[in-house]
Amino acid sequence: MKILVVDDSSTMRRIIVNTLARLGYKDVVQAADGVEAWDALQANEDIGVVITDWNMPNMNGLELVKKIRAQDKYKAMPIIMVTTEGGKKEVIIALKAGVNNYIVKPFTPQVLKEKLEGVLGKNEE
């Protein structure tokens, strides 16, 4: 299963990708905005999880989530929003749009592990 990591910051993408690799998830596709992410989803049928930033140019993370959720074949795909937008209002907006989990930057590798295992239905060790 591939994981799609979407963030306009190449540094943040690298941090997430490196963290995922340490957790054993090495099959990762990267995108710099929602437009690239949508193209990557169309090109990679085996993407199983999307980890996306909220604030990005061209198509932001919220728009991406809504576009993904509008497609029947992606209704069950786990989506994690990773963002600096940590207010209660933003969390509610993201959840209503269809994200399965929410991580506020900055975050620890343990937080990413717990949220990812949560959406994948893996039991805590």
Q: Are 6 and 37 in contact (CB under 8 A)?
A: yes
Q: Which of 22, 34, 2, 41 is nearest to 108 (CA)?
A: 22
Give residue limits of the domains in the chain.
2-120
Return the structure tokens found at 72: 């029947």
The dihedral of CA 51, 17, 44, 117: what is its sign?
Answer: negative
The dihedral of CA 85, 22, 15, 70: what is its sign?
Answer: negative
| Residue found under tokens 């596709």 | 29
- CATH number given to 2-120: 3.40.50.2300
Write down the pLDDT at residue 18: 97
The per-residue pLDDT for range 10-29, each reduced to its tens digit, is 999 999 999 999 999 999 99
Q: Which of 9, 15, 3, 10 is nearest to 78 (CA)?
A: 3
Tell me the whole-structure pTM to 2 decimals.
0.94
Write down the pLDDT at residue 124: 46
